[in-house]
Structure 1
Amino acid sequence: MKVEFVEKLRRNCSSVTFVISCSRAIELRPTKNVHGFFRYRNQMSGRSRGVGQVRFREENVASRAVDLSNEGRFLLYNQQLKFTLLDKKLQHAAPTCCRLENCTIHVGCLTAKDRMLSLWNYQGIVELELDLEEQTLSIHLAFTSMDYRLEFPLSQIRQFAPVEVSGRNQGLLTQIGEIPPYLYRRPFSPSQTDDKYVDVFLNGCLPRKLEKSDGESWRKGWVRTTDFTGSNAIGQSSVYVVELDCSEHRHDILSLLQQTLSFNEVPRSLQVEEVVYSEASQVAIPMWNPENFRVPFGILYKVNSLIQYGKLCVPNLEERFCRLISSGNESTIKLALQALSDEDGCHDPARFLRAKLDEMKKVAPPGVKMKQGMAWIHRVLVTPSKVYCIGPEMEQSNRIVRQHEDYTDRFLRVQFVDEDCSPLTSTALTSDVRSGHTEIYRRIKQVLKEGISIGSRKYEFLAFSASQLRESQLWMFAGKRPPPGSDKPAVTADSIRLQMGDFSQIRNVAKCAARMGQCFSASTPTRKVLPLQVKRIKDITVKTDGVTYCFSDGIGKISQDFARSIAKTCGSTGRIPSAFQIRYGGYKGMVAIDPCASSAFKLYLRPSMRKFDSCHFSLEVLDYTRVLPCFLNRQVISLLSTLGVKDQVFIDLQKQVLKDLDHMLEDDALARKVISCRESNSLALQMLDNGYTSRTEPLLKRLLCVFRDAEVQELRAKAKIFLPKARLLIGCIDETKILKYGEVFVQVSGASYAGGSYYSAQDNVENRDRTTVVTQKVFVAKNPCLHPGDVRVLQAVDVPGLHHMVDCVVFPQVGPKPHPHECSGSDLDGDQYMVSWEERLIPPSVDDPMDYSPPAATVVDHPVTIEEIQEFFLNYMTNDNLGVIANAHVVHADKEKSKARSEKCLELAHLASLAVDFPKTGVPAIIPQELRPREYPDFMEKEHRVSYISSGVLGKLYRAVFTTSFDAQTFSGVRMSDNIVNIFDEDMGVPGYEKHVESALSHKTIYDMKLQQLMSHYGIREEAEIIGGHVLSLSRIFARRQVDVLPKVRKAFEALQAEARSWFYARGFGKVDGEEEAKASAWYHVTYHKDYVGRRNSIQLLSFPWTVAKVLLKVKRSAGRNNDRQNGVGSSEADGYGPPGKRQKL
């Protein structure tokens, strides 16, 4: 938005203030003439729909704003804003409160449209509070010497309507979605406490929003809490009815709320039945376990999931339903139950399930063969008032799950989240001054101590990995006793921990927990390595200023022959990776190929890699060196800007990215080059390589659209700018001792950027083995990076003795300090470094690195107990401030004149170092109040916070995204609901396809059903999002965990593709020449031909035939050659990009 338009509005409309808040939307904060602004957001994605409402105090001011709009005087990111008057006025922004005497609140669920089961009720004085600015509806009541507040987000209210309660009184029915209300409590009279300091704190505690003004006393004193009903009714309920007495104010109250919320004035009849339905002793609420029926665990788990999501009501699960789920094929029943996920609510589940089972008899789904190294894992989310059973989800297995593969379904991931599945803040756990902790904290502690019961199984605390700790997540296990008379030992959480290794010598609680978690790293099992095949070698160290530094911290070596064998096991194709990230017994870190290493030993391990003693001798691989694209981000941009890189450099780089993205659909060659530099083996790239275009193939167009949408979204939200002259590389050490301090060796392969043009590893055979040795200055950084000294400028040199090291950055083993340590205090145990040789980004100066010496760790005088590990988990949740520190750093680096060199930023960088080390040291990072931002730049899109228009480089980049010519609605092109009947590729017709059409149609029905259920489970709207791996839409359960969720989505889709391929190649199919092509043609035919499109499903899913893309592309190539011969066109070699040869220098 141009500043002159803001000033014009201020002059004409008396201090109306505009603040940039999000994509294509603005916020008018309440001022003299403006009450407030409401954004309309997409319910699925949470993103702005580009429409809002502004409330003015005076009609003439509103009219003036409309006039200025009609004159084209309002611009936002070079786009005109249009103001129109509404038919009716918006209500005042101040909360609307209604005090109701002698009313009754019923809490329960609907067992039919006109019947409610009340699990708990309250009689007395109730206050309803409607806050349109915060978009909440709250119920206040006094109960057991406390005031309680139930806060409902308006976005989660499915229905708000008047009802006639049991034929006696009128009432208000509130039916909510999946999210239960946020619960708060406070003493009856918070101002009458004995301790004046406690009183001051209580009157300063604010629920959820910390920026409320002191004048709003109605918010004061509230503290987050858990279910207070005594029967856990809130966690089991989706309907709240406020029954009014016959007071004369009843009509006025209904009229006021009707004006605001626009519900139907005519009440409907509602019969309320009160029952005693208590599960007060169970932590996991709601959890259903039918008596007198033996329901398979997988089915019971699924039914409970449907109950928790509000799709089923427990009283409706009658005997007929229990009989159906207790017998029959378990896979078929679970698939039929999954169909309930798309229903708003089912009051007769037995009838629904019976119909689905009858329907599925016609297309019985084949079983899924699990890929080696994968596992189906159940997951439970624990919120302050209820739990959610999720999955099972396919994911990469770990050492412990593989060792107990017969008990896979007895492992459970448990995660603690807020009611909307966002992370729990520290204030939600520690706001209660008197006791130090809230009821939410005590609830989590109870779950850790008592576990979770599902059916007859009791899951108990096991351990957690480092990544799980950051996500407030852990592992539980349901022990299994051997049958009577068996000599097999019981498998319990305790017995599993004993088998993991010896942790008794680790006397720091945080470090002990981290070492246990090492066993739970997702990995691929490879080969057994006996102790005699392992050689222990020394670490490489130096002592500088009294401090000992380890150059080889976390890295060893591997013989070339053994590396070749495990590369095949890991599924690595082509070049043998130069290094592998591994777990071996109690060892962790990297092993790099050393051509000089004797083949008598398979592994060469260093003391810095040894973390604990273990008898596990299988080598597990977590990652390996490969082509990884590199992107700038906010932190790196901020530091480079601080070090003197001009703003225009970043603007030009982003401009080029946007230009390429804007022309992808028009230029297939450009699309191919753009994608090849980011994704080396995507379906879109294979299509483009084989003659498909976005103008003729709808799935390709969808894939390109989603790719483009995802890239633009990352630019807007993270300033994630693709760098052609850069890579994300795993760090290794120079075993040749040739590199000097200040030097690195960088050799990259695959899609690269040389001489101003892209080339792809798939252009021709020679390019697949092409490598590039960088011989110029590079900057090296590792995320997270907050200190200006975290960016190192080094000289990349060519060392012939290191030419076997590809797609990694090799650091020297000499100097006063290891270069990895200078980069955010990193090491070589698998850390990935951003390495760029883009000349414009090399800063003219660098700062000294920060001192990353960790604080002294607290030790105990006894072996660490499991109770101490549980306590550490809670302490981490309470003190996890890394995200808050990083956000504060972004704000101060944007506002301060000296940017990231400012005192505030330097202090935050130190605190971030403490926070990163907290999982290993147990020493928390405490943020001083003066470092907490009071306002945020526009590019951070902080809702309900004071914002300002950033004049820094990040603000310029953010706003520049919206000046592109891109039009989201036009570009998105073909979507799932669009008609594709006129797009059928005649080249895909193969003689003999007709005999395969019937089976193809049957398999497509099953495939589409499973794909839709996968999409429904994760809340994904577009099929192309799954295929391309660029998921733009996730349900609230998963939206805040994208890094963890996206690999699971990919693995689940890969499993579905593998299952479809097993149908294709069933019973030795394909031995007759041309049979494969004919069957693939039939699969294409039932997907694309107008006679079949939309026959069984209004949503047009296109990926089914592309599960056998190899065969389809073969058909396409064959048709292309035939067309060339018919047209007299000779063959020609594929065009190459870049000079010939296998190695070049930059």
Structure 2
Amino acid sequence: MSSSTMLPGFSKLDISDIMHLPRDYDLGGLVSNRSGNGNGNGYHRGIRSTGTPDRASPARGLGAATPTKSRNGDVYWNGYKLRKSPEEDVSRYQFWPNAMAMGSFIGKTFIQMLGAACEYGEDLSRVDRNGISEGYGKSYLAFDFVRELLVIRGRLRLGGSLPPALRPIDAELSFDDIASNGIHVESVPRIFRRSGKEIRGQEVTVTVGTRRPPKLFTVFEEFEKLMGASKSSKRMPYRRRATAMDFANAGGASERDVGPINVIPEGPCAYPTFWNTWRWVFDLTDAEHGKLRACIHRFQTLAETEPNMDLLVRGQPRWEIRKLDVDSYGKMYGLPDLSAVRFSTRTLIEGLIAHGKLRPGDVTLLLLTLRDNAVVQAFQDRILESLYSEERIRNVSAIVRGKARFLRHVPPKCLDHLVMIRTVLVTPMRILIGPPQQEPSNSVTRRYSDKLDGIIRVQFADEEDALFVADYTKQADSLRPDVGPMARVRRALQHGIVIGGQRFLPVASSASQQKERAIWFINPKMIDGLELRKWMGSVEEKIVAKHAARMGLPFSTSRIVHLDVQIGPVMADVERNGFTFTDGVGIAGTAVMTEAARALGATYGINSSPSAIQFRLGGAKGVLACWPNMVGEHEIRLRKSNIKFESSLTDLNVVRLAKHQTAFLNRQFIMIMCANGVPGQVVLDLFKNAITHIKGLRDRVRRKEVTKEDYNLIGQCSDFPLSAFIKAGFHDNPMVLDICSIIETRALQDLKWRARVQMPGGVFLIGISDESGTLKEGEVFCQFQERDDEPPKVVTAEVIVCRAPALHPGDVRRAWAVDRPELRHLKNVIVFSTHGKRDLPNMLGGGDLDGDDYTLIWDPRFVKSLTMYGAMNYTAPPPITKAHVTQADLNEASGCVDGITIELTIAQNFVQYILNDVLGQVDNTHLALSDIVVRSSQYRVRSPFVDFAKTGQAAVLDPKIKPKFWPDFMDRDDQRKTYESTKILGTLFRLVQPDPHFRPSDIKDVDYPVDERLSEFPIYESLLKRLEPIKAQFEHAMQYDMRRYKVYECEIPSGIALRNKRRKRARDQNLNEPLRDSYNSHVAAARGAAFEAVQHISFRSRLTPAQVVARHCYALTYEKEHVERWEEQQRHGEWDGGGGDKTEEDEVNGTNELRRAPMVSFAWCFWQELVQLANMALL
């Protein structure tokens, strides 16, 4: 093994830290003519062989060079060509309205809730640094095609004192939040006067229907103080995000201090909930009208490339306008009296109102219609739950009667590992609650399984995305913690949330849930908080942040292991030089492993007897490894590092199993490896080979030319039994081909946007320690088995070991993989030595063995050329401690970092996690700097961010270190400019062209393709009639999920969410399991209902009843005659209670956007039977 080069330590993160890497170190450089020993010359456009940067020197400050414009108008910075700034769109496609209005559609009537003339003319207060006006209007509607949003500003001519959110209206509406076919533009010739001149032009009315409220802003109250606090920053914040309370009267109570949050907002605070349509009226000259037509053309082009962006209305709908006065608004949108309605029903009604699906004024009629059509209260709830699949509830009576006709009275059975939990989404403008959803269980929900109405899972988010902490958010929050989105979070935590007339209060959040901004609330009238804490165990942790994490441990998702385990004596940790070599790993017997696998559904094959599991047991957590010679079959022995707090609970809960996973490289690994000597050409070849094998998957399936690599790709991307369908001959089925397209798109998106490429010569496995003590320092053991029909393989070679995230040169290390007979019983794990001065996992970015996965690579092209640098050594800052942590401490914390006071006098620990969870910003800064400068040291600041949940101490990212410009592979489509990167990640990014996207097929366009093997079996009309209501229920459930997760139909069975087109957000990966669980639940419900419908029917057929059902469900889904009849019934509202044809309201609000094409997944609820029928037809 080559010798290591030790790096200097870091003491403070600022611009000078960038000078602390080796002189010849180039993070992410694309190297040419570089030898295996790391000494080469001829770096490609990033650094000269001497180590001197050929771009702006870091000593001058990041991005110190001034951008210059070429003759053709292109802008260059440090030799890089910059991409277009989004402000150019806002100024180019900006239109000044005469008037604007906000409201909602009811039938063919636009209900105007607020509207007025707009102040017209140029806003002279908006000037650039030279004092020159930027040309913005006092009021305007602008189209930003770079960031894909509408920019709205409106100074309304309204008398009296206006609330903050209306002075002026300042909003950004994402294209994703515009309803399908939601933009309507109408023009009529008009002569108008402007600046004293008569102009012949066009009067244009623009109407936009929305799915959810836009992001609204208001002027920050303490702006002058904020400016004084941020003199070093050139980007002066002038506004903050508005919340619902900002629509209340001026001078009223602030967001934080008005008590609990109610699901149904009152008075003006309800405006954002019910404003689902915005209108503007313009007088435009011919030139201005031409620019507007150019915008329309761009929307048309966008729809051609991205089907979900078909935003323009077809045709010329007509509607009336009705302006509401105060009394009319109160009758239609005032708070309904639900005090006499039981909790479950009331909660569902409140949710329908909060989602904007039901008008409060229709509640009385809804309750009367429910009582007339559903005597049993549980069935009333079933009807209400089904209404969530609707975009708008237009005719309450008709739709309730329609639902009551075909809905099953018995709710679908919940899967064993799931429980029905209400989830609440708190956004700046709304609080959204839907029907109880199937969520993975945990120790607490299993303990209180009879009181689940008293538990809710609350998540804080923006209107359409995660709650983002901007650069200045913490500054503004410290000055005014009583206003803005963080104040709304505080309000919920301090005062609670009122749902169904019951007040819920926060109790705890696990570490993973905190990352999702989620926390559990309980109803103290149903579940006693003190009794709950006593049952969980004695949490004596004095570090406030750790105490909070320990309290959340029982809320971690897990499955109970039905086995009487024996808890053996606690084992000592192997500790040396201040490092713990066995941090987080205990041992267990074979029966424990087998039963844990059974709890997770692995009852046969290699995963039925895993070598390790990740577990929770009372107050203990981590990993248990199988060592049959050291413990009994049912025995568990924990280490001190496993035990987080004392608890009397002895139920073993399993989180996941150790199983084979293929290794993948990512942007961080590639950046460091190439900088550490791995030739860039090796990575390029790997990418090109991957692209070749991925592209064309759909076409190969259709041509029946599926390769082994194709089947491997399908298995890696999705648990859906797609391979079985293909092998059974369903090559032409629209859903099969669409899922192939989804897999192909996902794989290509991962390559382009994440540089995630499969590493054939590597594995990605959970780490454990060597209890036998046979591995020497620098050695690892790895035996992997990918499939049951293949023998296990032991890796014996020099290898690379790394762990994500990796930011420091020393985070990618070499080791020797060796064979040891004493370890041969361990499979699909990486065993680390317990000898040496420092454990290898800790060298890999501070990893441990309580559940971390590690990548191991033996491909010699990577291993031999890698130069290894010294591992980073980070010491966490002193944590915030309390002698006795109380609930008040969990709601309050304070601290100081590098002399910078973090003022949190009334801020919750949970809020501080949100404010300081800017790890993504740190990673992005590191990645961008690695492409620009020669040296980087963001790693040291990263560890404090990672450790916030353990210490409570916040790290501060110096604004001066943030890049001014960003490489194109990061696709920064905000106001920061980007340039075309010429280093390795930029080259890889541009290999995948064009941008991968998925367009669902329409069986009408391909003339209803039918498998002739199934058509030979007969059809019974009476059975079709019995199955039609079941199909309706299944498709309504699917439509609800499509709206909930913003996915297309075939993404749900595939378990792959593509709607975030660039898939840059890790949270998209987290949708896989919810999509899969939801689909499995819908399938189980459909199968149960179908078999119940035919249980008393005797068939004269060689087919089983299940096969007969499958044949008829296939006919309903794919055969032209039956599909066209079904679509005709849909148009007349037979299966949704709509009671009529599609209206012009639907055209603007996109009500029927999910029904443009017939749905194609229902038949595959019976896929096993369909495969059987296909095989029978061949006999």
Give the TM-score, by structure 1 length: 0.76
Report the CA distance shift for 1:499/1:259 in structure 2 as closer, same or farther (over 3 A).
farther
Q: Does structure 2 retain, via aligned residues, the 8 Å contact 1:510–1:922?
A: yes
Q: Does structure 1 retain, via aligned residues, the 8 Å contact 2:754–2:1064?
A: no
Aligned match of 1:562: 592
Aligned match of 1:315: 361
Q: Does structure 2 retain, via aligned residues, the 8 Å contact 1:789–1:849?
A: yes
Cα distance, 1:1056 vs. partner?
1.6
Residue from 927, 939, 956 that aligns with 1:909:
939
Cα distance, 1:308 vs. partner?
2.6
Cα distance, 1:987 vs. partner?
5.8
For the residues of structure 2 that align with 1:303 and 1:479, how far apart are their CA atoms? Answer: 23
- 1:1108 pairs with 2:1139: no
The SS at the match of 1:723 is strand
Cα distance, 1:1001 vs. partner?
4.8
For the residues of structure 1 that align with 2:76 and 2:615, how far apart are their CA atoms? Answer: 53
Provide Cα deviations, 1:89-126, integer angstroms capped at 9, x if missing partner: xxx5386667x8xx9x9876566654747489999999
Q: Does structure 1 retain, via aligned residues, the 8 Å contact 2:241–2:484?
A: no
Aligned match of 2:656: 623
- 1:583 pairs with 2:620: no
The SS at the match of 1:727 is strand
Residue from 729, 748, 752 that aligns with 1:712:
748
Residue from 1071, 1081, 1085 that aligns with 1:1045:
1071
Residue from 129, 133, 148 that aligns with 2:140:
129
The SS at the match of 1:714 is helix
Provide Cα deviations, 1:738-764, integer angstroms capped at 9, x if missing partner: 1111111111112xxxxxxxxxx3xxx
Aligned match of 2:59: none
Cα distance, 1:683 vs. partner?
1.1
Aligned match of 2:785: 749
Provide Cα deviations, 1:1010-1068, integer angstroms capped at 9, x if missing partner: 33333233222232x12222221269999883233331111111112222333465569
Residue from 517, 522, 540 that aligns with 1:472:
517
For the residues of structure 1 that align with 2:954 and 2:357, how far apart are their CA atoms? Answer: 42
For the residues of structure 2 that align with 1:1053 and 1:347, how far apart are their CA atoms? Answer: 28
* Higher normalized contact order (CA 8 Å, seq sep 6+, divided by chain length): 2
Aligned match of 2:533: 497
For the residues of structure 1 that align with 2:1171 and 2:877, how far apart are their CA atoms? Answer: 58
Aligned match of 1:890: 927
For the residues of structure 1 that align with 2:836 and 2:285, how far apart are their CA atoms? Answer: 77
Give the TM-score, by structure 2 length: 0.74
Report the CA distance shift for 1:637/1:200 in structure 2 as closer, same or farther (over 3 A).
closer
Q: Which runs of 5+ in 1 are unaligned?
A: 4-9, 20-24, 39-91, 164-169, 207-219, 245-249, 280-284, 482-490, 751-760, 762-766, 1123-1146
Aligned match of 1:1136: none
Residue from 887, 890, 913 that aligns with 1:865:
887
For the residues of structure 2 that align with 1:453 and 1:336, how far apart are their CA atoms? Answer: 23
- 1:1017 pairs with 2:1074: no
Report the CA distance shift for 1:107/1:558 in structure 2 as closer, same or farther (over 3 A).
same
Cα distance, 1:150 vs. partner?
2.2
Q: Superposition RMSD on alpha carbons, in Å? A: 4.3
Aligned match of 1:51: none
Within-5 A mapping of 1:273-288? 273-275=325-327
Within-5 A mapping of 1:1018-1037? 1018-1023=1045-1050, 1025-1033=1051-1059
Report the CA distance shift for 1:679/1:287 in structure 2 as closer, same or farther (over 3 A).
farther
Aligned match of 1:233: 268
The SS at the match of 2:1122 is coil
Q: Does structure 2 retain, via aligned residues, the 8 Å contact 1:430–1:438?
A: no
Cα distance, 1:1009 vs. partner?
3.3
Aligned match of 1:937: 967
Which stretch of structure 1 is more off in the superposition, 1056-1065 or 122-131?
A: 122-131
For the residues of structure 2 that align with 1:1068 and 1:570, how far apart are their CA atoms? Answer: 35
The SS at the match of 2:846 is coil
- 1:519 pairs with 2:519: no
The SS at the match of 2:672 is helix
Cα distance, 1:383 vs. partner?
1.9
Cα distance, 1:722 vs. partner?
1.5
Report the CA distance shift for 1:173/1:646 in structure 2 as closer, same or farther (over 3 A).
closer
The SS at the match of 1:983 is coil
The SS at the match of 2:154 is strand
For the residues of structure 1 that align with 2:139 and 2:502, how far apart are their CA atoms? Answer: 42
- 1:722 pairs with 2:758: yes
Report the CA distance shift for 1:15/1:784 in structure 2 as closer, same or farther (over 3 A).
same
Which stretch of structure 1 is more off in the superposition, 148-157 or 1061-1070?
A: 1061-1070
- Which letter maps to 1:845? T
The SS at the match of 2:541 is coil
Report the CA distance shift for 1:951/1:339 in structure 2 as closer, same or farther (over 3 A).
same
For the residues of structure 2 that align with 1:467 and 1:287, how far apart are their CA atoms? Answer: 39
Within-5 A mapping of 1:961-980? 961-962=992-993, 974-975=1001-1002, 978-979=1005-1006
Cα distance, 1:14 vs. partner?
3.4
The SS at the match of 1:777 is strand
Residue from 1035, 1054, 1059 that aligns with 2:1085:
1059
Report the CA distance shift for 1:177/1:543 in structure 2 as closer, same or farther (over 3 A).
same
Aligned match of 1:686: 724
Which stretch of structure 1 is more off in the superposition, 1100-1109 or 410-419?
A: 1100-1109
Cα distance, 1:259 vs. partner?
7.7
- 1:1006 pairs with 2:1033: yes
Residue from 11, 14, 26 that aligns with 2:72:
14
Aligned match of 2:42: none
Residue from 948, 962, 967 that aligns with 2:979:
948
Q: Does structure 1 retain, via aligned residues, the 8 Å contact 2:612–2:657?
A: yes
- Which letter maps to 2:627? D
Provide Cα deviations, 1:692-738, integer angstroms capped at 9, x if missing partner: 253x3333222211110111111111111112222220101111111
For the residues of structure 1 that align with 2:1036 and 2:93, how far apart are their CA atoms? Answer: 48
Cα distance, 1:171 vs. partner?
13
Aligned match of 1:828: 849
Report the CA distance shift for 1:993/1:732 in structure 2 as closer, same or farther (over 3 A).
farther
For the residues of structure 1 that align with 2:596 and 2:223, how far apart are their CA atoms? Answer: 65
Q: Does structure 1 retain, via aligned residues, the 8 Å contact 2:780–2:831?
A: yes
Aligned match of 1:845: 867
Aligned match of 1:36: 88
Aligned match of 2:500: 455
Residue from 153, 163, 167 that aligns with 1:138:
153
Residue from 388, 393, 413 that aligns with 1:369:
413
- Which letter maps to 1:317? V
- 1:394 pairs with 2:405: no
Cα distance, 1:647 vs. partner?
1.4
The SS at the match of 2:399 is helix
Q: Does structure 1 retain, via aligned residues, the 8 Å contact 2:333–2:359?
A: no
For the residues of structure 2 that align with 1:1037 and 1:948, how far apart are their CA atoms? Answer: 21
Aligned match of 1:875: 912
**Percent of pairs with identical residues:** 24
For the residues of structure 1 that align with 2:407 and 2:500, how far apart are their CA atoms? Answer: 31
- Which letter maps to 1:858? I
Cα distance, 1:1081 vs. partner?
3.6
Report the CA distance shift for 1:598/1:861 in structure 2 as closer, same or farther (over 3 A).
closer
The SS at the match of 1:394 is strand
Q: Does structure 1 retain, via aligned residues, the 8 Å contact 2:442–2:557?
A: yes
- 1:418 pairs with 2:462: yes
Aligned match of 2:541: 506
Report the CA distance shift for 1:94/1:1115 in structure 2 as closer, same or farther (over 3 A).
closer
Within-5 A mapping of 1:789-808? 789-808=810-829
Cα distance, 1:1096 vs. partner?
1.1
Cα distance, 1:1118 vs. partner?
4.6
